[in-house]
Structure 1
Amino acid sequence: MKRVNRALCLLAAALVALMSSAAGAYGYGESDDMAPSPPPPGPSGGASGNALTASATTTGIKIRQVSGGGSGTSPKTLAPVDPNWEPPACWYEPVATPQQLKDAVDRLKKGGDLVPVTPSLSWGEQLMVDHYGKGKAEFDSGEGYENYNLGKDGYFWRGVINENRRNELDSMDCERTLFWQNANTLPDDEHAPTPDVLAAYAYDKINVPGTEVELKPAAKSTVNLPTWVWLDRATFQEVKVRAELPNAGVWAETTAKPVALHLNAGTEDAETYPASGDCAINDDGSIGTPYTKGDADKTPPCGIRYLRASGGEPFQLKASITWQISWEGSGGANGDLPDGTFETTQDMNVQEIQSINR
């Protein structure tokens, strides 16, 4: 078996870029630029023993926010409550039909500015022809292919790196050479794009409204008198994001549901209501109770009582929304993901006055 060197690895990266460029009509993005390891944005090539690897950060997964997110608000991403949870580092995707792969190799034969690879292009190109066109097992994939599998129903697949984890070692786990997969089937591989993988990928794409909580008094509170905190039910609704992988028949919808508001007064000289600082979601989807005239001396179901004045610097009131994450996907699959949080900070000026206007 011929030795695979860096020149051939770069060739594979260029081939992936060519196929990505040619696949626009099939739902794939623009071609990526090559760059050396650690994996940068765009395709990268490497060798593991005699196995050729080719991966890219341009994914074919389509993301759509189905519902929620608020109106007129600044969208924010969620931070997982579990600090050890991470989305998948890499997975496999369909990248080219037999005809697309043949066309890409034919372009490599002709050279030109689409293939700024290496002086040993002809040697690498011949390996590609032998492996995918002539059925010779040139790489450690266990098989070669006759005439690029023209006439068969399916796709050649490649490894894809999660763009948010491209500098991590795990991102290089999807190192299989471009391989064939029959239509409407998934690879028998731990890095196959199953619904749970798409659901976890969609987690990073959830945008929740960044609206501040409602306060009464709004910006200036009074020592020893409660500040009421609430959120309108129309502001924080479920957010649903759909991730779908074209030509693989796989999809998942990840839903974020607001379940609690946690208050941090920004000082130890304060009391929260309830004492834990955790304000639950009401049955109608709202949080807390809006302040009404005459409530000044009442204890709010969700709120804060400051015990001293803020002085020259306002206290930093932190309000953190907890979002419960669940998902469902193709084939009836479903499950849960770690809760997510989004935190806002608001200035609270507290004055030394023992009465307020009612």
Structure 2
Amino acid sequence: MRALSKACLLLSGSLCAVALAASSAQAIGDEENRQPSTGPSGNANGGTLTASATTTSIKVTQVSGSGSGKSPKALAPVDPNWEPPACWYEPVATPEQLKAAVDRLKKGGELVAVTPSLSWGEELMVTQYEKGEARTSDSEGYKNYNIGQDGQFWRGVINEAREDDAASYACDRTLFWQDANTLPDNDHAPTPEVLAAYAYDKIKVPGTEVELKPAAESKVNLPTWAWLDTATFQEVKVRAELEAAGVWAETTAKPVALHLDPGTEDAETYPSSGDCEINADGSIGTPYTKGDAERTPPCGVTYLRASGGAPYPLKASITWEISWEGSGGAQGDLPDGTFETTQDMTVREIQAVNR
């Protein structure tokens, strides 16, 4: 259960209610354009949808890359302390839409959600948004719902990936007005950087296994070549856009390195660090060709002992460099991401035949 906001604590219990579930309050604004949530999403009711604290209007689009192909996988940030934004503010209703929501409330409709966790009844909504009388010290009154003014009413949204985090409580400002083409002067405004971080959390990279030769079975002291070609190893770009606020960001994941862990100490990697750098053409390593069996691969591993009863778990960790650009010329970097695959390698002794 989310805690009561300060506004609710200052008022009579008969005048406000906390949205304990998605179906506790009605949504406002253009719900058809809002992104569905994998969490509670509510139900249709009188032409609107019930409110969800994790329903966002941010539109996410796969711009390029093969992350939407076979078995796409999420990236794990290299920085263990990095997290996507816990919450942010979004425009949710025009003056006319807010008035319509209150009109439905006057006819016995559901409460109106004014924060992700708090909903108000008729008296509070009419007093603050129709009569223009602020009910709390940290809110404003809006005469006749600000009809005729250019802008929208905004409300906090919780990132469904972090809805159980204490940080998601931070976007608890009561439904407020924001002039058109401006962003709130608040740490939780939906800036391009916030959208870039949101897009990062949505990136899916191709779950492609590293090409190996020999593929699944090798011999002791025989080099195993490893590589990734440009056809299956391309950058992935995701766009996050909050159209109603005129803000967007595109986050790009670019593959830059491959790290090999042979799964045993009885092995040598190439290079010795196990870090295979990306080539000028975007590939990693060099494909094996006939006659390369005795050569040292630029990217690969040589096993020095047979695997015995169980194969060695050869781990291949791909590093993706993350950058972004957004509206207003904004740009920056985010922590690198990694994706790890494990491939079983059976290693046998080379059998000699005596005659």
Structures share fold, TM-score greater than 0.5: yes
User: Which of residues 244, 261, 275 is equivalent to 2:241?
Assistant: 244
How has the CA–CA distance of structure 1 residues 70 and 172 changed in structure 2, closer, same or farther, with 3 Å as cutoff?
closer
Number of the residue aligned with 1:111 = 108
RMSD: 2.6
Aligned-pair distance for 1:110?
Answer: 1.2
Kindly provide the CA deviation profile for residues 168-220 of structure 1, in whole angstroms up to 9, marking residues without a partner as x.
11010011000000111100111100000000000010110001000000110
2:11 aligned with 1:4: yes
Paired residue secondary structure (1:186) = coil
C-alpha distance in structure 2 between counterparts of 1:291 and 1:136, whole Å: 75
Number of the residue aligned with 1:338 = 335
Instruction: Give the letter aligned to residue 186 of structure 1.
Output: L
Instruction: Give the letter aligned to residue 339 of structure 2.
Output: F
C-alpha distance in structure 1 between counterparts of 2:218 and 2:207, whole Å: 23
Q: Which runs of 5+ in 1 are unaligned?
A: 35-40, 44-55, 118-122
Is the contact made by 1:23 and 1:29 (CA closer than 8 Å) also made in structure 2?
no
Aligned-pair distance for 1:4?
Answer: 2.6
Number of the residue aligned with 1:218 = 215
Number of the residue aligned with 1:144 = 141
Instruction: Give the TM-score normalised by the residue count of structure 1.
Output: 0.86
User: Which of residues 105, 124, 131 is equivalent to 1:134?
Assistant: 131
Kindly provide the CA deviation profile for residues 216-265 of structure 1, in whole angstroms up to 9, marking residues without a partner as x.
00110111110000011111111000000021000000000000000010
Aligned-pair distance for 1:15?
Answer: 10
2:347 aligned with 1:353: no
Structure 1 consecutive aligned stretches of length 4 or more whose deviation exceeds 3 Å: 11-17, 25-34, 114-117
Number of the residue aligned with 2:30 = 23
Is the contact made by 2:154 and 2:175 (CA closer than 8 Å) also made in structure 1?
yes
Kindly provide the CA deviation profile for residues 288-326 of structure 1, in whole angstroms up to 9, marking residues without a partner as x.
000111111100000000011111111111001000000
Is the contact made by 2:279 and 2:285 (CA closer than 8 Å) also made in structure 1?
yes
Aligned-pair distance for 1:19?
Answer: 2.6
Percent of pairs with identical residues: 71
Number of the residue aligned with 2:315 = 318
Aligned-pair distance for 1:9?
Answer: 3.6
Aligned residues: 330
Is the contact made by 1:131 and 1:139 (CA closer than 8 Å) also made in structure 2?
no
Moved more, 23-32 or 327-336: 23-32
User: Which of residues 60, 75, 80 is equivalent to 1:78?
Assistant: 75
Number of the residue aligned with 2:116 = none
Aligned-pair distance for 1:108?
Answer: 1.2
C-alpha distance in structure 2 between counterparts of 1:28 and 1:78, whole Å: 22
Number of the residue aligned with 1:199 = 196
C-alpha distance in structure 2 between counterparts of 1:210 and 1:197, whole Å: 27
Instruction: Give the TM-score normalised by the residue count of structure 2.
Output: 0.87
How has the CA–CA distance of structure 1 residues 216 and 14 changed in structure 2, closer, same or farther, with 3 Å as cutoff?
closer
Is the contact made by 1:139 and 1:177 (CA closer than 8 Å) also made in structure 2?
no
Q: Which runs of 5+ in 2 are unaligned?
A: 1-6, 44-49, 114-119
Is the contact made by 2:23 and 2:51 (CA closer than 8 Å) also made in structure 1?
no
C-alpha distance in structure 1 between counterparts of 2:310 and 2:22, whole Å: 57
Paired residue secondary structure (1:247) = helix
Paired residue secondary structure (2:309) = coil
Instruction: Give the letter aligned to residue 138 of structure 2.
Output: S
